[in-house]
Structure formats: structure tokens, C-alpha cells
Amino acid sequence: MFDLTVFDAFLKTEKLGRAPVILDEVDSTNDWLGKRLDDPRLAEIIVIAHVQTNGRGRHGRVWNHLPGLGLAFSLAWEVSGQPRPLVTLATGIALAETVMELAPVDAQLKYPNDLLIADKKVAGVLTEVKGLNGRRAAIIGVGINVNVPLHKFPDDVRKIATSIFAEGGVKISREAILAIFLNRLEPMLGLLGDGRSGEAIISSYKKLSGIIGRKIAVTASSGEIIGKVMDMDEDGGLIIDSGDGKLEKIVAGETRFLD
């Protein structure tokens, strides 16, 4: 099980993670938290599930995690106005930096929110903006394949997914990884909360994703867009040159490299 004493020993935040909730079984930690947005300690809650019976990924996919070997958790960050993709990007950066601090691996971000090692997925982020009783928050749900041995993945999943243990060869404390991730995330979210520019976030994201200058395909709701990534704008959107002289902005969708 998740050891709160170990978690607390690593946690250095002011707020994030200060009110941990461990659930033996829940449908989805994102859904559980979405019903509690009026909690006065919202920013401090981190809800961690041993088992999720309806773990959700992006685009309606299922997210499966292996109890005791992976991590599935959610936290909430109050937002006003439009949801900001920067919250998702900041989460990815904190994940990538934490994984590389704890394991001898080279982690890369795949826009907008997948964490890859050796081109295979080790973690994903599902950010959903919800409102309750006048409060609007981004619910940030994260799933990480921490100590999963490769043989535990179903055959079809093993082709596209891996774990930190499988790539780095070291078992990592799930409590440490979560606490260090929150330590790294809090100052980045603080930058956004103050309404300050997301410049530092964009710059770190560009480095960790290596996306600028690459030819990519993006499957968005409007169809597939193929082009060269020219830049990332201040909201965290991708500026793509699709070759017909016009630049397009992408803020969501599934991306894949073509070069």
C-alpha cells in the first residue's frame, strides 16, 4: 500500500499534497475529486487510488494501472476563465524532471501530455476543467507506470507502453516519486496563478519535448493536420506551418512525429 509517512518525509510543498486521501477502490480519481470542488482544502487534496474500476484516459480511452506497481492520482488547481493548456504542460514538465531525477533514463514529452521513455509511454495526464458551486478547477489526473515489469503488460500494450523500472532498471519508491513531482509542480502552478507569463513553462516544455522544427501529424476534432512545428505560443498552443502558407494553432489532439 501507499505509505503516507514516507510520502510526507519527501514532501516539501506548502499546499499541494498536504491533504492526501488514499482510496482502496474508486471508479476514477478524477471523478471522485470532481464531486468535491467545494472542499475548502481543495488545493491540498491529492487522491490516490489503489484500484480504479473506470480509469479514464484522453479521447475516451481506458487507463489501466497495476495496483502497487503503478500510480493513479488526481489533484485540483483552481482556474478562472478559460482552461489553460499550460496547466497540463507544467504537469508534464514536473513528471519528466522527477522521473529523470530518480532513474537513469532519458524522458521525453509528447505533446500535449504523454511522458515517453525510448518512444514508449510511461505516464499520461488527463486534465479536465469542471465547476461546482461557483468554483472552477482543473482536475489533473495522472497515471504512471512506475515499477511494472514488462511481462505484466498485455502483449498489445507492451508495444507502445513501458515503465520506469523496465527502462531504468531501478525500483522507485512510489511515495518519493509522487512527493517530488508535487514539489516540482507547485512553483510552476504558482507562476500561472499569479497571472504571470508562462514563459518559463514554455521554454522548459520546448526542451523536454524537442518538438520545435519537427514535422508532425495532429489528429484534432477538425481532422488531421500535417506540418512543421514553428513555435509554441504563450498559451501553450502549437503553431504549425502546414505548407500552404498559413500557420495554424493547435491546442489539443493526438500528435505523432513524421520525421
Q: Is 63 in the site for ligand BTN (CB under 6 A)?
A: yes
* The one among 20, 34, 55, 236 contacting ligand BTN by CB under 6 A: 55
Pick the closer one to ligand BTN by CB: 33 or 103. 33
Q: Is 30 in the site for ligand BTN (CB under 6 A)?
A: yes
Task: Give min distance, CB of 222 to ligand BTN, in A.
Answer: 20
Only one residue has cell 519528466, namely 96
| Nearest Cα to Cα of residue 135 among 2, 33, 258, 248 | 33
Are 218 and 224 spatial neighbours (Cβ–Cβ below 8 Å)?
yes
Distance (Å, whole) CA 180 – CA 100: 11
Task: Give min distance, CB of 96 to ligand BTN, in A.
Answer: 14
Q: Is 95 in the site for ligand BTN (CB under 6 A)?
A: no
Q: Is 28 in the site for ligand BTN (CB under 6 A)?
A: yes
The region of 27-35, 85-93, 168-176, 189-197 touching ligand BTN under the rule CB under 6 A is: 27-35
Q: Using CB positions, name the residue nearest to ligand BTN.
A: 124
Pick the closer one to ligand BTN by CB: 110 or 227. 110
Are 95 and 181 spatial neighbours (Cβ–Cβ below 8 Å)?
yes
Are 147 and 172 spatial neighbours (Cβ–Cβ below 8 Å)?
yes
Pick the closer one to ligand BTN by CB: 128 or 227. 128
Restricted to residues 135-154, the positions that interact with ligand BTN (CB under 6 A) are 141-143
Strand ranges across the sheet with 19-26: 19-26, 45-52, 71-78, 135-144, 120-132, 114-117, 107-110
Pick the closer one to ligand BTN by CB: 124 or 227. 124
| Nearest Cα to Cα of residue 47 among 62, 58, 36 | 36
The C-alpha cell at 5 is 509517512
* The one among 29, 88, 145, 147 contacting ligand BTN by CB under 6 A: 29
The region of 54-62, 87-95, 181-189, 237-245 touching ligand BTN under the rule CB under 6 A is: 54-62
Distance (Å, whole) CA 139 – CA 33: 7
Only one residue has cell 499520461, namely 124
Chain residues in the site for ligand BTN (CB under 6 A): 28-30, 52, 55-58, 61, 63, 72-74, 114, 124-126, 141-143
